[in-house]
């Protein structure tokens, strides 16, 4: 009579690999959290920031429709929100809106400094032609004002006019040598970073040591 066979529990060919079984049970590392959604460099996770951004968009729409009184009211609300980035943008437009709301004789700049201030304001919102018109008037009214030549050099960089930028920057440095150090760290002059003339102008000591 044949004997009953015992279960072959020691057969290596059919045994499950404990190593493989353990590996399959290892937990995967959690994925790194995604970056919070942004718009124009402003994080939108906080619902208060979303509300602030909505106010800012509405204010800009009113601003571009030249409804400056209503835009001013909305921009002032944006200043109360949590995002410093949005508050800074709103503050810039608020200043321009207040300027536009002034009586006509106050809107039109007369002095070199008033033309300069308007030119810088126009640069900040990307209205290059208006900025150049005002800065040219400021330069004509005060040809020895180094800050006006410096602003024109920055505007030239923003509009891609390297030769004019070099010329205006040189005048600004000749009138006030400290402008050389300001330009070294001014991001408005990034357009000239690869221009050897720019390097020679801002770092004359290097050129002198080479000789």
The tens digit of pLDDT for each residue in 36-51 reads 555 554 555 688 888 9
187 half-sphere exposure, CB direction, 13 A CA radius? 0
The predicted pLDDT at position 8 comes to 52
The predicted pLDDT at position 173 comes to 94
Instruction: Give the Cα-Cα-Cα angle 182, 188, 190 (nearest 5 degrees).
Output: 100
Helix axes 68-78, 84-100, angle to 10 degrees: 160
Query: In angstroms, rounded to a whole number, what is the distance separating the alpha carbons of residues 125 and 135?
Result: 15
**DSSP H or E segment with residue 65:** none
The predicted pLDDT at position 102 comes to 67
Could you tell me where the DSSP H helices lie in the chain? 18-25, 47-64, 68-78, 84-100, 104-107, 112-124, 128-141, 146-158, 162-175, 179-184, 196-202, 204-210
Residues of the chain with pLDDT under 70: 1-45, 102-107, 205-211
Going from N- to C-terminal start, the domains of the chain cover 42-106, 109-205
What class is the 109-205 domain?
mainly alpha
């Amino acid at each position: 009579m044949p004997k009953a066979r015992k279960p072959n529990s020691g057969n290596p060919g059919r045994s499950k690999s404990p190593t493989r079984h353990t590996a399959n049970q290892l937990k995967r590392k959690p994925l790194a959290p995604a970056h919070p959604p942004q718009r124009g460099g402003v994080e939108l996770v906080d619902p208060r920031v979303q509300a602030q951004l909505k106010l800012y968009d509405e204010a800009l729409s009113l601003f571009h429709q030249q409804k400056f009184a209503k835009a001013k009211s909305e921009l002032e609300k944006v200043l109360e929100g949590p995002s410093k980035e949005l508050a800074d943008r709103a503050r810039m437009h608020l200043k321009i809106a207040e300027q536009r709301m002034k009586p006509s004789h106050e809107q039109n700049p007369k002095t070199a400094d008033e033309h300069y201030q308007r030119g810088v304001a126009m640069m900040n919102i990307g209205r290059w032609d208006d900025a150049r018109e005002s800065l040219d008037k400021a330069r004509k009214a005060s040809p020895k004002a180094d800050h006006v030549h410096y602003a024109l050099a920055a505007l030239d960089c923003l509009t891609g006019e390297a030769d004019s930028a070099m010329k205006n920057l040189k005048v600004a440095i000749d009138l006030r040598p400290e402008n050389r150090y300001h330009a070294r760290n001014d991001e408005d002059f990034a357009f000239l970073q690869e221009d050897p003339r720019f390097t020679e102008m801002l770092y004359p000591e290097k050129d002198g040591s080479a000789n």
